[in-house]
Amino acid sequence: MSTSSSSKPTKQIHLAAHFPGVNNTTVWSDERSRSQIAFSSFRHFAQNAERGKFDFLFLAEGLRLRETRGLIHDLDVVGRPNTLAILAALAGVTSNIGLVGTLSSTFNEPYELARQLATLDHLSRGRAGWNIVTTSDAFHGANFRRGKFLELADRYTRAQEFFDVSTELWGSWADDALVADKRSGEFVRASGLGLVDHHGPQFDVTGYATLPPSPQRHPVIVQAGDSPDGRGFATNSADVIFSRHADFEAGRAFYDDVKGRLDAVGRPRDSLKILPAATFILGDTHDEAQERSREISRLQVSPQTALSFLEQVWNTDLSGYDVEGPLPSIDPVVTTEGGAKGRAYVHTDPVATAKAWREQAEASGWSIRELVISFAAKHTFVGTPGFVAETINRHVQEDASDGFVIVGNTNPTGLDEFVDRVIPELQERGVYRTDYDEGATLHETLGLPGVAPRSAGSLVSA
């Protein structure tokens, strides 16, 4: 990569607000936490993020209650309303912030989901986004009539075809198809309604879309998978990558890889924003922030949570172990039916994972709980608001990212102090908007080029 950073224009930072709650990042037991489920919490979260001029808010998704060894995994939030319902409701109480939901291409039908996403875009006046995810395991499939058929290798085949059919549906009404001329009585120009006639290995869809083009015509596409297939899909079809590479060096490598892929397919580099997930802990001084970070990480990894992480690898009851002591010396129980169900994160080789963890804990002098904290509750940005703002800016200006997906540790108020204290620091540096552009769509807020609809055919990966 050739760098000429001296002449580079200053990049504007893009931020997303992640409503957490399906993992241990959210401390539901914290006294500042309010309901993870009531609409008032989502409204507070969204309106606070909008006050902070975030590009969009982001909701994750779980299609089944998680289980550990046959029991519902109950250490984290459960029972939240579904993504589309929350986002549609939030469209009614926000005006500018993007609304991005995680929705599976495996257990939905494109005709239905494409319509729901276009509806969200209508309801929000052009602020809808779709984090397209794949699901392939029988555990989730057991709740759906499609069942257990999808092979791992077919995940992205289906996702790509799902996306292509959706794009055809979103593109099927011509801009001038709706006439609604009261005088002549002509409501639609019949030739302006394109017939979608798709026949592929995954889907057969023949018909007309039920709604006129939405303000963005198609939602902003977010992609979060890290595999080569996932990166390939993002290169072809996504507008935003939600990455896990918040670390500076790993972030630069990922950024370089993905932007290079864009060059290869002839897409402009600014047409795909890379936003790693990041947590933050603020303090008036560096030391205070570090101290808070330690406290919060212990709340995020309660003794029960620490053991649960180990049990997901060991696949056996470890309740006799002291989490402040060393890791179990016994080997994990290996079965074909894994212990933990309903998470994206799966341990493919438990024995090797256990060995690596044991070695790392011994080398660092860590207890069970400290080990779990090191990977499950490590905070990305810890320091004063000025330090955090400066760090974020450095990542962006030096091409480790285009911004971040910020996650708080309590709901729904965890991002309030970020908005109060870090956002003004970014704005003072001139690298972050002080207001939204009037009536901007999410596409426009993200600064994405080429808002004209893309043709579906060009997106099919070779």
Residues 54-113 contacting other proteins, CB under 8 A: 62-65, 71-72, 74-82, 84-93, 107-109, 111-112
- In the complex with other proteins, the residue whose CB is nearer, 1 or 145, is 145
Determine the number of helices (DSSP H) and then strands (DSSP E) in the chain: 15, 14
Residue 98 Cβ vs other proteins, minimum distance, rounded to whole Å: 16
CA dist., res. 167 & res. 159, Å (int) = 12
- In the complex with other proteins, the residue whose CB is nearer, 139 or 387, is 139
Residue 398 Cβ vs other proteins, minimum distance, rounded to whole Å: 41
With CB under 8 A as the contact rule, the residue among 8, 32, 147, 455 that binds other proteins is: 147
CA dist., res. 303 & res. 300, Å (int) = 10
User: What b/e string do you get for 156-192 counting C-beta neighbours within 10 Å, with b at 16 or more?
Assistant: bbbbbbbbbbbbbbbbbbeeebbeeeeeeeeeeeeee
Binding to other proteins, residues 197-216 (CB under 8 A): 203-214
What x-and-dash track marks residues 273-302 binding other proteins by CB under 8 A?
-----------------------------x
Q: Is 143 in the site for other proteins (CB under 8 A)?
A: yes
H or E stretch at 47: helix 39-51
| Number of residues near other proteins (by CB under 8 A) | 74
Binding to other proteins, residues 318-357 (CB under 8 A): none
- In the complex with other proteins, the residue whose CB is nearer, 72 or 346, is 72
Binding to other proteins, residues 171-190 (CB under 8 A): 178, 180, 182, 185, 187-188, 190
Strand pairing class (204-207; 273-282) = unpaired
What x-and-dash track marks residues 34-53 binding other proteins by CB under 8 A?
---xxx--xx----------
Binding to other proteins, residues 208-267 (CB under 8 A): 208-214
Structural contact between residues 66 and 343, judged by C-beta atoms closer than 8 angstroms: yes
- Give me the DSSP letters along 75-137: SS---PPPHHHHHHHHHTT-SSSEEEEEEESSSS-HHHHHHHHHHHHHHTTS-EEEEEE----
- Contact segment (CB under 8 A) with other proteins among 33-41, 240-248, 354-362, 398-406 equals 33-41
Q: Is 436 in the site for other proteins (CB under 8 A)?
A: no
Residues in the chain: 462
- In the complex with other proteins, the residue whose CB is nearer, 198 or 433, is 198
With CB under 8 A as the contact rule, the residue among 11, 51, 122, 252 that binds other proteins is: 122
Helix runs in 385-431, H state only: 385-397, 416-417, 423-428
H or E stretch at 441: none
- In the complex with other proteins, the residue whose CB is nearer, 122 or 292, is 122
CA dist., res. 130 & res. 223, Å (int) = 8
Longest Cα pair distance anywhere in the chain, in angstroms? 82
Residue 380 tokens, joined:
């990305």
With CB under 8 A as the contact rule, the residue among 10, 95, 227, 304 that binds other proteins is: 304
- In the complex with other proteins, the residue whose CB is nearer, 187 or 375, is 187
Residue 191 Cβ vs other proteins, minimum distance, rounded to whole Å: 9
Strand pairing class (67-68; 71-72) = antiparallel
CA dist., res. 261 & res. 267, Å (int) = 9
User: What b/e string do you get for 362-386 counting C-beta neighbours within 10 Å, with b at 16 or more?
Assistant: eeeebbbbbbbbbebbebbbbbbbe
Residue 143 Cβ vs other proteins, minimum distance, rounded to whole Å: 4
Residue 81 Cβ vs other proteins, minimum distance, rounded to whole Å: 3
- In the complex with other proteins, the residue whose CB is nearer, 275 or 323, is 323
Query: Hey, is 205 helix, strand or coil?
Result: strand
- Contact segment (CB under 8 A) with other proteins among 120-128, 284-292, 345-353, 431-439 equals 120-128
Binding to other proteins, residues 151-170 (CB under 8 A): none
With CB under 8 A as the contact rule, the residue among 26, 96, 297, 305 that binds other proteins is: 305
Residue 58 Cβ vs other proteins, minimum distance, rounded to whole Å: 18
Residue 157 Cβ vs other proteins, minimum distance, rounded to whole Å: 16
Residue 43 Cβ vs other proteins, minimum distance, rounded to whole Å: 7
**β-pair partners for 274:** 241
Residue 354 Cβ vs other proteins, minimum distance, rounded to whole Å: 23
Q: Is 194 in the site for other proteins (CB under 8 A)?
A: no
- In the complex with other proteins, the residue whose CB is nearer, 304 or 434, is 304
Query: Hey, is 430 helix, strand or coil?
Result: coil
- In the complex with other proteins, the residue whose CB is nearer, 88 or 344, is 88
Nearest Cα to 397, choosing from 4, 13, 66, 36? 13
* Residue 430: burial class (beta carbons within 10 Å; 0-12, 13-18, 19+): exposed
